[in-house]
Structure 1
Amino acid sequence: MDRFLRLGAYVLHPLWMPTLGTILYFVFTPRYVDLDLMRSKLFAVAIITLFVPIIVFFLLRNLGIINSMHLKTAKERKIPLMIQCILLLVIIKLVFDAYDSPELYYFFVGILFSTISALVMVMLKVKVSLHQIGIAGITTFVFLMSIHFKVNVLPWISAFFFFNGWVASSRLHTTSHNYAELIIGLFIGLIPQLIMVNFWL
């Protein structure tokens, strides 16, 4: 059980969530999307939100700004979150368009607001759960897509509810966060997606 709970923090790491959300959009959407365009968009998202942050992490660790990938203190989270905000702005400005792909565009706007909120909490010296923010945000996005596209994705929604519990249990088990930090993270991930849905649902 210990290994299973610890595994949740890696399998459902927040860096995976933007790429996973993009993949699920292309899986669920009933619209025709050119395969080459789909690949290019997905590749761009993976590069900007996954591979670039990993490279930046090693750079920051070598510079002594952060000590580990877990970002155990609020102070360590400040610069990574600032960089993540910039990378999300790049996606919003260059990768997705509000007219061609409103669902994905506002999904990433929601992620940006969640990241800014986490950064504000860091400034207030509150270390909210980035894992809970990520999984709550994508769970909300999947639920809203099911309504928008009128498709039955109940197994996916059920799986993501399980994933939310897995992440929360994992963070509590490893004493990475307390209940308050998890609850705040849940709402920081959920609320921006609910606000942004007014622009595309």
Structure 2
Amino acid sequence: MKNFILKSISFVFHPLIMPLLGVLFYFSKTPRFIPDPIIKAKIFSVVILTIILPILLFFLLKTINKVETIYLKTTRERVVPLLINSIIIALIIIRVMTPSEIEELFYFFLGILFSNIICLILALSKIKASIHMIAASGFFMFAVGIGIHYQININGTIALMMIILGAIATSRLHLNAHTNQELITGIFTGLLPQLLLLNFWL
């Protein structure tokens, strides 16, 4: 039962869903008026580009034996997916979340891009970082930034995210997917770009 729960945590909080969670969090918390059609269009675009497209590309890469599992266990099999994901995130920044429309989400995805590139460089250097922790900690820092920016109480979200971060770390350790060092590397890789970019939109 314990093994099932910890495996489920890794699956439910997969890195692919974190950009969408960031977008949903922003639209649910921002006091700015944004027309519903625009919100729906942005969410739809993010779902297609950050979840459905990567999943389809994963199956293509699996078919040609470039990857084995969706968890990308080795640094070798991380390189191509991370490169592809960087291109997808760059496309979102250029076409979907432009700074002239929604500045906060533009910098959120720019932070994701920087984290992705850092993770790619680490993979090319044969250094493994937890992508789960990169994605979750990046979302956490963005949520904190939104709370500060709009001066809204997000203590519940912060507490929940701390629990989720702990659960993800426990899950990855239990499944022998990462070492403590790889988890810590992942946390800083996700946190720092978002933290540094706060200077541009807070």
| TM-score of the superposed pair, with normalisation by structure 2 | 0.98
Aligned to 2:144: 143
Aligned to 1:158: 159
| TM-score of the superposed pair, with normalisation by structure 1 | 0.99
AA matched with 2:128: K
In the TM superposition, what is the alpha-carbon distance from 1:99 to its structure 2 partner? 2.5
The superposition leaves residues 14-39 of structure 1 with CA deviations (integer Å, 9 ceiling, x where unpaired) of 00000110000000000011001000
In the TM superposition, what is the alpha-carbon distance from 1:67 to its structure 2 partner? 1.1
Q: How far apart, CA to CA, are the structure 1 residues paired with 2:134 and 2:71? A: 15
Aligned to 1:92: 93
Give the match's secondary structure for 1:128. coil
Q: How far apart, CA to CA, are the structure 2 residues paired with 1:4 and 1:142? A: 26
Aligned to 1:192: 193
Aligned to 1:39: 40
AA matched with 1:165: G
The superposition leaves residues 75-127 of structure 1 with CA deviations (integer Å, 9 ceiling, x where unpaired) of 00000000000000000000012122110000000000000000000011011
State percent identity of aligned pairs: 40
Alignment of structure 1 residues 22-171 onto 2, 5 Å: 22-171=23-172
Aligned residues: 201
In the TM superposition, what is the alpha-carbon distance from 1:7 to its structure 2 partner? 1.1
Taking only aligned residues, the RMSD between alpha carbons, in angstroms, comes to 0.7
Q: How far apart, CA to CA, are the structure 2 residues paired with 1:192 and 1:156? A: 20
Q: Which runs of 4+ in 1 moved over 2 A?
A: none
Q: How far apart, CA to CA, are the structure 2 residues paired with 1:89 and 1:82? A: 11
Q: How far apart, CA to CA, are the structure 2 residues paired with 1:160 and 1:99? A: 29
Aligned to 1:4: 5
Q: How far apart, CA to CA, are the structure 1 residues paired with 2:18 and 2:71? A: 16
Q: How far apart, CA to CA, are the structure 1 residues paired with 2:97 and 2:180? A: 35
Q: How far apart, CA to CA, are the structure 2 residues paired with 1:140 and 1:166? A: 17
AA matched with 2:26: Y
Q: How far apart, CA to CA, are the structure 2 residues paired with 1:99 and 1:87? A: 20
In the TM superposition, what is the alpha-carbon distance from 1:149 to its structure 2 partner? 0.8
Q: How far apart, CA to CA, are the structure 2 residues paired with 1:45 and 1:199? A: 23
The superposition leaves residues 152-192 of structure 1 with CA deviations (integer Å, 9 ceiling, x where unpaired) of 11111100011100110000000000000000000000000
In the TM superposition, what is the alpha-carbon distance from 1:131 to its structure 2 partner? 0.1
Q: Structure 1: which 5+ runs fail to align?
A: none
Q: How far apart, CA to CA, are the structure 2 residues paired with 1:29 and 1:74? A: 38
The superposition leaves residues 40-64 of structure 1 with CA deviations (integer Å, 9 ceiling, x where unpaired) of 0010011111110000000000011
